[in-house]
Chains A and B, each alone.
Chain A
Amino acid sequence: MPAADIDTAMALLELRNVSKIYHLGGEEIRALDDVSLDLEQGEFVSIIGPSGSGKSTLMHILGCLDSPTRGNVTLAGTEIARASARELARVRNRTIGFVFQFFNLLPKLNVLQNVELPMIYAGIGGRERRERAGKALEMVELGHRLKNRPNQLSGGQQQRVAIARALVNNPKIILADEPTGNLDTHTGELILSLFRRLAAEGRTVILVTHNPEIAAVTPRQIEIRNGRIAHQVDARLAGLDRSGGGDLPPSAP
Chain B
Amino acid sequence: MSLELPRIPISGMTLPEPPSMPDLPVGQTSLGNAVVVGLKEIWAHKFRSALTMLGIVLGVSSLVAMSAMVQGMENGQREAMLAIGGLEKVRMEAQRVPVEQRHLRDMARGMTLADVEALKAGIPEIEIIAPEMRLEVDPTLQANGRFHRTFMTGGILPEKMRIMEHEVEHGRMFNDIDAAEARPVCLIGTGIRDELFGRPEETGTEVIPLGRTMTINGQPFTIIGMFKRYEGEQDRKQRLEREAERQRLLAEGRTPPKAQGPSRGQGRGGSFAFWIKNNTVYMPLNTMWHRFQAGLSNAPPEPRLSNIELKVRDFSRIEQTLSRIRNIMMVNHRGIEDFAFRTFEDWSADIDRFVKNARMSGGLIAGISLFVGGIGIMNIMLASISERIREIGIRKAVGAGGLDIFVQILVESTVIAVVGGLLGLAFSRFVVLGITWVAPTGNDPVITGGAMALAFGFAVGVGLLAGIFPAVKAARMDVIQSLRYD
Contact = CB atoms under 8 A, between A and B. Distances in A.
Interface of A: 41, 60, 65-66, 85-86, 89-90, 92-94, 98, 100, 104-106, 108, 117-118, 120-124, 128, 132, 135-136, 139, 165, 167-172, 197-198, 200-203, 247
B144 interface: no
Nearest to A94: B21
B5 A132 contact: yes
Contacts of A93: 26, 398-400
A135 B396 contact: no
Given A93-B398, A132-B5, A165-B398, A123 B44 contact: no
Contacts of B24: 122-124
A124 B483 CA distance: 25
A85 B21 contact: no
Interface in B3-25: 3-6, 8-9, 11-21, 24-25
A169 B314 CA distance: 76
Contacts of A172: 17-18
Contact of B16 (A86, A171, A202): A202
Contacts, number: 127
Nearest to A63: B397
A104 B396 CA distance: 12
Tell which of B30, B44, B399 has the most Cβ of chain A within 10 Å.
B399
B403 A86 contact: yes
Given A85-B402, A86-B26, A201-B8, 17 more contacts: A92-B399, A98-B398, A104-B390, A117-B394, A122-B21, A123-B26, A139-B5, A169-B3, A169-B21, A169-B399, A170-B3, A171-B18, A200-B13, A201-B9, A203-B18, A247-B11, A247-B13
B5 A121 contact: no
B19 A89 contact: no
27 contacts: A65-B480, A85-B402, A86-B27, A86-B402, A89-B27, A89-B400, A89-B401, A92-B396, A93-B26, A100-B483, A104-B390, A104-B394, A104-B483, A106-B395, A108-B44, A117-B394, A120-B30, A121-B26, A135-B3, A136-B5, A139-B6, A167-B5, A172-B17, A197-B6, A197-B8, A202-B18, A203-B6
B9 A121 contact: no
Contact of A170 (B21, B403, B480): B21
A115 to B, nearest CB: 10
8 A-B pairs with least C-beta separation:
A93-B399, A202-B15, A89-B401, A121-B399, A123-B24, A123-B28, A90-B26, A118-B398
A94 B12 CA distance: 27
Nearest to A125: B30
Contacts of B483: 65, 100, 104
A132 B21 CA distance: 13
Contacts of A171: 18
Contacts of A122: 21, 24, 26, 399
Contact of A106 (B28, B394, B402, B480): B394
B478 to A, nearest CB: 8
Given A66-B480, A172-B17, A89 B396 contact: yes
A198 B404 CA distance: 30
A181 to B, nearest CB: 15
A170 B401 contact: no
Contacts of B15: 201-202
Given A120-B29, A169-B21, A89 B6 contact: no
Contact of A123 (B4, B6, B30): B30
A234 B264 CA distance: 105
A65 B397 contact: yes
Contacts of B379: none
A106 B391 contact: yes
A94 B399 contact: yes
Question: How many B residues touch the partner, as a band?
Answer: 35 or more
Contact of A200 (B9, B18, B404): B9
B408 to A, nearest CB: 10
A86 B398 contact: no
A92 B18 contact: no
Contacts of A121: 26, 29, 395, 398-401, 404
B236 interface: no
Nearest to B394: A104
B40 interface: yes
A150 B455 CA distance: 42
B33 interface: yes
A92 B397 contact: yes
B214 to A, nearest CB: 82
B479 interface: yes
A82 to B, nearest CB: 17
A32 to B, nearest CB: 13
Contacts of A201: 6, 8-9, 13, 15, 18
A106 B316 CA distance: 70
B399 A118 contact: yes
Interface in B210-226: none
Contacts of A170: 3-5, 18-21
Contacts of A120: 29-30, 33
Contacts of B8: 197, 201
Given A41-B17, A132-B3, A200-B13, A123 B25 contact: yes
Nearest to A124: B24
Contacts of A108: 40, 44, 391
Contacts of A165: 398
B183 to A, nearest CB: 89
Contact of B6 (A100, A124, A167): A167
A139 B479 CA distance: 29
Contacts of A117: 394-395, 398
Nearest to B5: A135
B401 A85 contact: yes
B479 A66 contact: yes
A197 B13 CA distance: 11
